[in-house]
Amino acid sequence: MRFDRAVSVGWSLLPGCLPLLWFGLARAADDPATAVTLPVVRVTAEPLAAPVLALPAADDTVGGEDLRRDRPQVSVSEGLGFVPGLQLRERQNYAQDLQISVRGFGARASFGIRGIRLVVDGIPATLPDGQGQISHVELGSVDRIEVLRGPFSALDGNAAGGVIRVFTEDGPDRPEISVDAGAGSHDAARVGVQAGGRVGAWRYRVGASHFQTNGFRDHSAAERDLGNAKFSWQPDDDRRLSLVLNHLDLPEAQDPLGLTRAQMTADPSGVDPVAETFNTRKRVGQTQGGLTYLQRLGPQDTLQAQAYLGHRSTTQYQSIPVATQTNPLHPGGVIDLDRDYQGLDLRWVRQTTLLDQPLAWTAGLAWDVLMEQRRGAQNFTGSGDTWVTGVRGALRRDEDNRVANLDPYLQLNWRWAPQWLLQAGLRYSNVRFTSRDHYIVGSNPDDSGQVRQAAWLPMLGLSYQMAPGWKAYASLGRGEETPTLNELAYRAGGQTGLNFALRSASSTSAELGLQWATADWGQGELALFETRTAHEIVTQTNAGGRATYQNAGGTLRRGLELGWSAAWASAGRVRLNSSFLDAHYRDSFLACSGTPCTAPSTVIPSGNRLPGLARSTVALGLDWQPPTGWHAGAEWRYVGRIFVNDTNSDAAAAATTVALSSGYQWRGEDWSVDAFARVDNLLDRRYVGSVIVNDGNGRYFEPAPGRSWWAGIRSRWQF
């Protein structure tokens, strides 16, 4: 039976199976041998401040060691492959960020990460317009990554699919220093250093890394430096102050663009000639800092204040034909962005009672602002036969954009019975876009303007402790996904200015879930969800190297997610992630299908699948990790077929890959050394690593490398 058919059958059988499951768990509750006390895991300094397994939501935590063990530590995608509902695409292109989607949200992003809320040490990595970046995370410093999926994620603001929170490590009690180095295929190399310790009430953790590669594909070399520092002061249990500083320097990352199917078939490591003609590339610099202060006022009340600010500069050279760029209304082939962002979050948490039962509520106000200076220039100089491409030319766009939100929010947690927990939340999302045009030349008019997008976002969830170590839950909520500045940046028909007619997409999500952690059954989760979205944001036109966007009708995302892990023998672990996603359009609409396409003329029928998403994914991992000596791991992954456009006329084929790793760890009283090697794509399969959804030139495919290797060593000393 096909996997997707099996899941469809599971949907129809699930209601009938629930009574049987309930009966089995009731029997388990009567058996003392199965009783296991769940560890309390707290999510601190976040709106959802509650034990993780008490939340009526699908959530996962991946520890820092799982992110680093036997891995290159180049991308967060390396260690998140066993989180259900998460689809990660490694583009092999460091000029573009990862492609991350949660439950079908974020797949269409061609630049940055959208539809998902990203937070690093309390600092939003998703800006007020809904677009995020995660390339600044220094994996050597990470303590854990938490992934929240489902309706309750919208309590964090402008996002629909989920929230990914990254927490870096605090300083240890004893001073320590660690160094790691590694090298691998395609002349890739990375070196990192970490140091931490404690001085009285102060703790510190600083880290830095350097990475470089020539890339699997032609014209894909990159170099990157990361730095992270965290200082915390906690003189007693009632006060805590944390300061986080972060820096990213990407001096140049070549952009190999995508390939057509014919190009990929001929040479998957090749590049379209226009990439080298225009020297497509990107330069990024980012520096940011955040300060968090927590004050406990008594046994019932806690106040928290958080402030952050940062600056990010991006310069990108694109492969737009010279003849197209010479149009006086065209913004050119160089995008130059300077972004300053800052924000405040004030929060009051109170522990009280309602009807003599424990009640906790959190009330807060979040203010975030992004100030962007957007400039466009020609990616050539000269004229006629003297054109020189790949260099910055004449200015063609100059504007100041501002996006700000002021969002009040409230969350209630009421344990009205020993086994029952009711959670409710409400957030008012209020985002204002303002643009002031400074490039008013000839036929190019003043395109200044503003628009506001606002919505109430309610959530309701109920969880029930069915038996020791078992929890069932149900949740319902709404989410809002505003268009990003990059989606607003261009208008159809070659018109200038921002596309203020583009509206937010709104979603209503429902979820049923089961979570467990017992000695006999291991730790796992099963989630069944459905999300209906109105005014879905989709591609409208593709012409002149620019994509414009429109609001289509409704979409439906429905899925089943299973995650499970268990220990075996003395040092073994098995992990399984299996997800099914049915994501399709509920309403027909007109879209572009030609190259170029200046007006939508092709009917996309209802029932067509949303592009960029695999219907089914499976990951199986086996690990042997004793404290010292030999260790090893194996990973098997399957990703289903992925359509590349709204017409569903072409697709990346399903792919299966295998990875193996092994190493040896020496450990002394105050030191440890771990050497390892790994092989990815062991069977040397040809497959597509990611797709560029609705690419206007038909260059949809970003091939993955064949068999590749990495070897590294990590050492740590305590003093």
DSSP symbols for 52-98: GGGSSSEEEEEEHHHHHTTS--S-GGGT-TTSTTEEEE--S-TTS--
Answer whether 149's CB lies under 8 Å from 106's CB: no
116-120 vs 162-168, strand pairing mode: parallel
Tokens 């009708």 sit on residue: 553
- The per-residue pLDDT for 350 is 95
Is-contact 476 510, C-beta < 8 A?
Answer: yes
CA–CA gap between residue 649 and residue 651 (Å, rounded): 7
Q: What is the DSSP letter of 614?
A: B
The mean pLDDT of 465-489, rounded to a whole number, is: 92
pLDDT band at 2 (very low <50, low <70, confident <90, very high): very low
Q: Where do the DSSP E strands lie in 355-486?
A: 357-377, 380-381, 388-389, 395-417, 420-437, 449-467, 470-481
- Phi first, then psi: what are they for 36, rounded to 5°? -135, 130
- Per-residue pLDDT averaged across 451-475, rounded? 93
pLDDT band at 598 (very low <50, low <70, confident <90, very high): confident
pLDDT at 14 over 50: no
SS (H, E, C) 117-137: EEEECCEECECCCCEECCCCC
Token pair 């967060």 in the structure block, residue: 76
Residue-level pLDDT at 1: 37
For residue 134, what pLDDT is reported? 86
76 pLDDT above the threshold of 60:
yes
Q: What is the mean pLDDT of residues 89-102?
A: 86
pLDDT given at position 233: 96
pLDDT at 271 over 80: yes
Task: Give the span between the Cα atoms of 715 and 719, in whole angstroms.
Answer: 14
| Short-list 716, 687, 699, 490, CA closest to 89 | 687
Q: Quick one: pLDDT band at residue 115, thresholds 50, 70, 90?
A: confident
Summarize pLDDT for 117-144 with one digit per residue, the tens. 889 988 888 889 888 888 889 999 999 9
Q: pLDDT digits over 369-401, tens only?
A: 999 999 999 999 987 778 899 999 999 999 999
**pTM for the whole structure:** 0.89
Q: For domain 31-718, give the CATH superfamily.
A: TonB-dependent receptor, beta-barrel domain (2.40.170.20)
**What percent of the chain has pLDDT above 70?**
92
Contact 94, 280 (CB under 8 A): no
Helix (H) or strand (E) segment spanning residue 27: helix 3-29
Least confident of 77-81, 412-416, 651-655, 657-661: 77-81
pLDDT of residue 109: 79
C-alpha span between 495 and 167 (Å, rounded): 43
Residues in the chain: 719
Task: Flag whether pLDDT at 50 surpasses 70.
Answer: no
Average pLDDT over residues 577-590: 96
Output the pLDDT for position 341: 96
How many angstroms separate the CA atoms of 159 and 117, rounded? 5
Structure tokens at 273: 């000639």
DSSP string over 496-528: -S--TTPPPEEEEEEEEEEEEEETTTEEEEEEE
User: How many whole angstroms separate alpha carbon 46 and alpha carbon 429?
Assistant: 17
Q: What is the phi-psi region of residue 581: left when phi exceeds 0, alpha when psi lies from -120 to 50, beta otherwise?
A: beta
Collapse the DSSP code of 277 into the 3-class scheme (helix H, G, I; strand E, B; otherwise coil) and give the result: helix
Which is it for the CA torsion 250, 252, 258, 262, positive or negative? negative
Q: Look up residue 464 and give its two tokens.
A: 């029930």
**214-233 mean pLDDT:** 96
pLDDT score for 159: 73
pLDDT for 672: 96
**Cα–Cα distance measured from residue 715 to residue 664, given in angstroms and rounded to the nearest whole number:** 12
State the pLDDT confidence band at 54, using cuts at 50, 70 and 90: low
Strand-strand pairing, 688-691 and 701-703: antiparallel
Percentage of the chain beyond pLDDT 90 is 75
Greatest CA separation found in the chain?
86
**When comparing pLDDT for 211 and 596, which is higher?**
211
152, two tokens: 């309750």
In this prediction, residue 9 has a pLDDT band, given cuts at 50, 70 and 90, of very low
Q: What is the mean pLDDT of residues 159-171?
A: 88
Instruction: Please tell me the distance from the alpha carbon of residue 448 to that of residue 436, in angstroms, as a whole number.
Output: 4
C-alpha to C-alpha distance for 164 and 144, rounded to whole angstroms: 11
pLDDT band, very low/low/confident/very high, at 597 (cuts 50, 70, 90): confident
Confidence of residue 478 (pLDDT cuts 50, 70, 90): very high
CB contact at 8 A, 280 and 318: yes
**Cβ-based neighbour number of residue 433 at 10 Å:** 23
pLDDT of amino acid 92: 84
Alpha-carbon distance of 24 to 515, in angstroms, equals 15
Cα separation, 659 vs 93, whole angstroms: 21
pLDDT digits (tens, 9 = 90+) for 490-541: 998 888 889 999 999 999 999 999 999 999 999 999 999 999 999 999 999 9
Which residues pair with residue 191 across a beta bridge? Answer: 181, 210
Per-residue pLDDT of 348-368, as tens digits, reads 999 999 999 999 999 999 999
How crowded is residue 496: how many other Cβ atoms within 10 Å of its Cβ?
Answer: 21
Mean pLDDT, rounded, for 198-205: 96
Report the alpha-carbon distance of residue 673 to residue 525 in Å, rounded.
35
Nearest-angstrom CA–CA distance, 370 and 373: 10
Name the more confident of 390 and 153: 390
The answer to whether 451 touches 481, Cβ cutoff 8 Å, is no
More confident residue, 202 or 544: 202
Q: Is 610 helix (H, G, I), strand (E, B) or coil?
A: coil
Q: Tell me what percent of the chain is helix, strand and coil, each rounded to the nearest 5.
A: 10, 55, 35
The chain-wide mean pLDDT, for the chain, equals 89
Domain extents in the chain: 31-718
Residue-wise over 87-102: b if at least 16 C-beta within 10 A, else e?
bbbbbbbbbbbbbbbb
Alpha-carbon distance of 507 to 316, in angstroms, equals 33
The pLDDT tens digits for 423-449 are 999 999 999 999 999 999 988 999 999
